[in-house]
Amino acid sequence: MLTKKQNLLETIHGGNPDRFVNQYEFIHIFMSDPYNASDPAPKYGQVNVTNKWGITKSWPEGTPGAFPVLDEEHRVLKDIDDWKKVIKAPKLVFSESSWEPAIKEVEGVDRNEQFVAPFVAPGLFERLHYLMGMEDAMVNFYEEPEEVKDLIKYITEWELEYADLLCSHLHPDALFHHDDWGSQKSTFFSKEMFEEFFVDAYKEIYGYYKNHGVELVVHHSDSYAEPFVPDMIDIGIDIWQGVMATNNIPEMIRKYGGKISFMGGINSATVDHPGWTREEIAKEVQRVCTEYGKDKHYYIPNIIQGLPVSTFEGVYETTSEEIDKMSKEMF
């Protein structure tokens, strides 16, 4: 029987996996590095918690995650022309002792079984609209493109500084990075705009990690983002996690399998809701495994949420159990 890590590599490289890769089983995602550990974030039910970027976030009860508060009082950047005066990236200066919890955590991972990956979120686009709001971000792409590019460069340089610290202290062999690039039905911007504003920046970020010991880049975008797949390959993404069922997953596997793999296919709203049942989860797991996983390569069945969790208790675990059942039927 292959290890979880071996089975993942056989799946994404077109080899001989002996079962489905079961959701996030192949990757240990850590958040114990001193930046993540010290950056304030709301817990479930908390409101108006301000982080080191000055972004205020809330996580109301009954919602799947935290999101920025962007009213006039709390929005960080009200005029893109003022960003150099207003936005101050957090200092990445930490004592050596502050790295000890993360070092201890990653040393405890069996790297024959799992990749070890830092959690980096939000990504470049999300950081933009967290700072100024979605509408202003979209308008500024058109009206103030040079200012937006300069701000993206500033955030990219901060991410590279952070990457250097993570790689030198913790030696990860994978990266788990968030940035949502679309809604359920469409991308947030055209392919041309994505390439103009984000491709070079992500090449630099993901290239840095891959030049410093990272073998596997997993990018979370729970969205429709099918037009961006060639660019995802170009910037170094190995697994697109969060791929919604609104994307043509079989066609993407056919066209791009061997260059990138797809993790998701189970839209959270389909199974992760009040009153969920094992029967509906089993039906959805069977659907994705037979539709997307019939050739056993380049696809990982997974609820699209951006961590190994579910909004409602038991959904993630039940989904994993049903994936195991399908592995026994199909392998």
Write out the residue range of the structural domain in which residue 94 sits.
4-330
Q: What integer pLDDT is reported at residue 63 of this predicted model?
A: 83
Q: What integer pLDDT is reported at residue 233 of this predicted model?
A: 98
The parts of the chain modelled with pLDDT lower than 70 are none
Q: What integer pLDDT is reported at residue 316 of this predicted model?
A: 98
Q: What integer pLDDT is reported at residue 173 of this predicted model?
A: 98
**Model's pTM, two decimal places?**
0.98
CATH number for the domain harbouring residue 300: 3.20.20.210
Provide the 10 A C-beta neighbour count for residue 71. 8
Q: From edge to edge, which strands make up the β-sheet containing 56-58?
A: 49-50, 56-58, 67-68
Tally of domains in the chain: 1
What is the per-residue pLDDT across 283-330, written as a single tens digit (0 to 9) for each? 999 999 999 999 999 999 999 999 999 999 999 999 999 999 999 999
Q: What integer pLDDT is reported at residue 64 of this predicted model?
A: 81
What is the per-residue pLDDT across 229-270, written as a single tens digit (0 to 9) for each? 999 999 999 999 999 999 999 999 999 999 999 999 999 999
Query: CA-CA distances (angstroms) from residue 329 to 212, 268, 323?
Result: 40, 24, 10
The alpha-carbon radius of gyration of the chain (Å, integer) is: 20
